[in-house]
Structure 1
Amino acid sequence: MIYSNIPAAQTLVLYFKLRGVKNIVISPGSRNAPLTISFTKNSFFKCYSIVDERCAAFFAMGMAQHLQEPVAVICSSGSAMLNFYPAVAEAFYSDIPLIVVSADRPSYRIDIGDGQTIRQENVLEKHIGYSANLKQDVSHATDSISKFGKSLLNEKQEEIQSHNEREIAKALSVAFDEKYPVHINIPFEEPLYGRAEGASVQIKDKGEYLEQKSSNEENWVELAKVWKSNPRKMVLVGVNQPNAIEAEVLENLAQDPNTLVFTETTSNLHHPEFFESIDSIIAPIEKSKNRNELFKALQPELLVTFGGLIVSKKIKAFLREYGPKQHWHVDTKKANDTFYCLTKHIKTNPNQFFKRVVSENINPTNDYKAFWESKKNKYEAKRDVYLKEIPFSDFSVFDRIIKNIPKGYQVHLANSSTVRYAQLFPLDASLKVFCNRGTSGIDGTTSTAVGSSIYSKEPTVLFTGDLSFFYDSNAMWNNYMRPDFRIVLINNSGGGIFRILPGMEETEEFETFFETSHELSAKHLANMYGFEHINAQNKTELELGLVEFYSKSNRPKILEVATPRVLNNKILLGYFDFIS
Structure 2
Amino acid sequence: MTYSDIPLAQTVVALCKAKGIQHIVISPGSRNAPLTIGFTENNFFKTYSIVDERSAAFFALGMAQQLQQPTAVVCTSGSALLNYYPAIAEAFYSDIPLVILSADRPPYRIDIGDGQTIRQDHVFERHILYSVNLKQDVRGDDQKVLNEGKNLPKLDKYINPTQLQKSIQGYNEDELNKAINTAFEEKGPVHINIPFEEPLYGMTDTQFVTPQVKQPEKSYERLSDESLQAYADIWNKAKKKMILVGVNPPNALEQQFLDIIAEDESVVVFTETTSNLHHHRFFPNIDKIIAPLEKIKDGVDYFKDLQPEILLTFGGMVVSKKIKAFLRKYQPEHHWHIDSKKAYDTFYCLKKHFKTTPNLFFELFFKLMKPQKSEYLQYWLKIKAKRSSAHKEYVTQIPYSDLKVYERILKNIPEQYQLHLSNSSTIRYAQLFQLNETLEVYCNRGTSGIDGSTSTAVGASVVSKKPVVFVTGDLSFFYDSNALWNTYLKSNFKIILINNGGGGIFRILPGHKDSKNFDKYFETIHKLNAKGICETHNIKYMVVDSEKDLTVALSGFYDDTSRPSLLEIFTPRTINDEILLNYFSFLGKNQ
Structure 1 length as normaliser, TM-score?
0.97
Q: Secondary structure at the match of 1:47?
A: strand
* Counterpart position of 2:167: 159
Of 305, 312, 332, the residue aligned with 1:297 is 305
* Counterpart position of 1:419: 427
Structure 1 stretches lacking a partner, 5+ long: none
User: 1:557 offset after TM fit, Å?
Assistant: 0.5
Of 215, 225, 233, the residue aligned with 2:222 is 215
Q: Secondary structure at the match of 1:551?
A: coil
**For the Cα contact (< 8 Å) 1:243–1:268, is it kept in 2?**
yes
User: 1:142 offset after TM fit, Å?
Assistant: 1.8
The answer to whether 1:463 aligns with 2:471 is: yes
Q: Secondary structure at the match of 2:103?
A: strand
Q: Secondary structure at the match of 2:166?
A: helix
* Counterpart position of 1:11: 11
| AA at the equivalent of 1:398 | Y
More deviation, 180-189/222-231: 222-231
* Counterpart position of 2:287: 279
User: 1:395 offset after TM fit, Å?
Assistant: 0.4
Q: Secondary structure at the match of 2:496?
A: strand
| AA at the equivalent of 1:166 | D
* Counterpart position of 2:70: 70
Q: Secondary structure at the match of 1:569?
A: helix
What aligned pairs does 1:168-317 form with structure 2 within 5 A after superposition? 168-208=176-216, 215-217=222-224, 219-286=227-294, 289=297, 293-317=301-325
The answer to whether 1:134 aligns with 2:134 is: yes
More deviation, 250-259/152-161: 152-161
* Counterpart position of 1:44: 44
User: 1:148 offset after TM fit, Å?
Assistant: 6.7
Rate the CA distance shift 1:391–1:291 in 2: closer, same or farther, 3 A.
farther
Rate the CA distance shift 1:285–1:420 in 2: closer, same or farther, 3 A.
same
User: 1:305 offset after TM fit, Å?
Assistant: 0.3
User: 1:286 offset after TM fit, Å?
Assistant: 4.1
Rate the CA distance shift 1:38–1:369 in 2: closer, same or farther, 3 A.
same
* Counterpart position of 1:567: 575
Q: CA RMSD in A?
A: 1.9
Rate the CA distance shift 1:206–1:356 in 2: closer, same or farther, 3 A.
closer
* Counterpart position of 1:107: 107
**For the Cα contact (< 8 Å) 1:412–1:463, is it kept in 2?**
yes
Q: Distance in 2 between matches of 1:504 and 1:141?
A: 68
Of 384, 387, 396, the residue aligned with 1:388 is 396
The answer to whether 1:377 aligns with 2:397 is: no
| AA at the equivalent of 1:553 | T
Q: Distance in 2 between matches of 1:59 and 1:351?
A: 30
Q: Distance in 2 between matches of 1:116 and 1:92?
A: 26
User: 1:466 offset after TM fit, Å?
Assistant: 0.3
Q: Secondary structure at the match of 2:541?
A: strand
Q: Secondary structure at the match of 1:87?
A: helix
Structure 2 stretches lacking a partner, 5+ long: 159-163
User: 1:356 offset after TM fit, Å?
Assistant: 2.7
* Counterpart position of 1:89: 89
1:136-188 CA distances to partner (integer Å, 9 max, x unpaired)? 11127726536876895937111111111111010011011111210000001
Q: Distance in 2 between matches of 1:193 and 1:431?
A: 46
Of 330, 334, 341, the residue aligned with 1:333 is 341
Rate the CA distance shift 1:553–1:361 in 2: closer, same or farther, 3 A.
same
What aligned pairs does 1:415-564 form with structure 2 within 5 A after superposition? 415-564=423-572
**For the Cα contact (< 8 Å) 1:216–1:347, is it kept in 2?**
no
Q: Distance in 2 between matches of 1:109 and 1:538?
A: 60
More deviation, 73-82/380-389: 380-389
Q: Distance in 2 between matches of 1:291 and 1:419?
A: 35
1:81-138 CA distances to partner (integer Å, 9 max, x unpaired)? 0000000000000111100000000111111110000000000111001002101111
Q: Secondary structure at the match of 2:313?
A: strand
Q: Secondary structure at the match of 2:552?
A: helix
Q: Distance in 2 between matches of 1:381 and 1:120?
A: 56
1:331-355 CA distances to partner (integer Å, 9 max, x unpaired)? 1111110000001111221123223
**For the Cα contact (< 8 Å) 1:60–1:72, is it kept in 2?**
yes
User: 1:220 offset after TM fit, Å?
Assistant: 2.6
Q: Distance in 2 between matches of 1:211 and 1:141?
A: 43
* Counterpart position of 1:24: 24
User: 1:551 offset after TM fit, Å?
Assistant: 0.7
Q: Distance in 2 between matches of 1:341 and 1:161?
A: 48
- The number of residues matched between the two structures is 579
| AA at the equivalent of 1:466 | D
* Counterpart position of 2:326: 318
User: 1:419 offset after TM fit, Å?
Assistant: 0.3
**For the Cα contact (< 8 Å) 1:486–1:557, is it kept in 2?**
yes
Structure 2 length as normaliser, TM-score?
0.95
Rate the CA distance shift 1:141–1:287 in 2: closer, same or farther, 3 A.
farther
1:521-557 CA distances to partner (integer Å, 9 max, x unpaired)? 0011011011001101011111111122111000100
Q: Secondary structure at the match of 2:242?
A: strand
Q: Distance in 2 between matches of 1:20 and 1:170?
A: 15
Q: Secondary structure at the match of 2:527?
A: coil
Q: Distance in 2 between matches of 1:304 and 1:150?
A: 51
User: 1:198 offset after TM fit, Å?
Assistant: 2.0
Rate the CA distance shift 1:292–1:168 in 2: closer, same or farther, 3 A.
farther
Q: Distance in 1 between matches of 2:209 and 2:460?
A: 34
Q: Distance in 2 between matches of 1:212 and 1:141?
A: 46
Q: Secondary structure at the match of 1:284?
A: coil
Q: Secondary structure at the match of 1:285?
A: coil
**For the Cα contact (< 8 Å) 2:107–2:151, is it kept in 1?**
no
Aligned residues with identical type, % of pairs: 56
User: 1:387 offset after TM fit, Å?
Assistant: 1.2
Q: Distance in 2 between matches of 1:188 and 1:22?
A: 23
Q: Distance in 2 between matches of 1:39 and 1:100?
A: 14
1:36-82 CA distances to partner (integer Å, 9 max, x unpaired)? 00100011111000000000000001100000001000000000000
User: 1:304 offset after TM fit, Å?
Assistant: 0.3
**For the Cα contact (< 8 Å) 1:252–1:360, is it kept in 2?**
no
| AA at the equivalent of 1:453 | S
**For the Cα contact (< 8 Å) 2:236–2:372, is it kept in 1?**
no
**For the Cα contact (< 8 Å) 2:57–2:87, is it kept in 1?**
yes
Q: Distance in 2 between matches of 1:348 and 1:151?
A: 39
1:435-469 CA distances to partner (integer Å, 9 max, x unpaired)? 10000000110100011111111100001000000
Rate the CA distance shift 1:283–1:147 in 2: closer, same or farther, 3 A.
same
Q: Distance in 2 between matches of 1:29 and 1:235?
A: 49
**For the Cα contact (< 8 Å) 1:410–1:459, is it kept in 2?**
yes
Rate the CA distance shift 1:67–1:151 in 2: closer, same or farther, 3 A.
closer
User: 1:479 offset after TM fit, Å?
Assistant: 0.5
* Counterpart position of 2:161: none
Q: Secondary structure at the match of 1:358?
A: helix
* Counterpart position of 1:398: 406
**For the Cα contact (< 8 Å) 1:94–1:308, is it kept in 2?**
yes
| AA at the equivalent of 1:341 | C
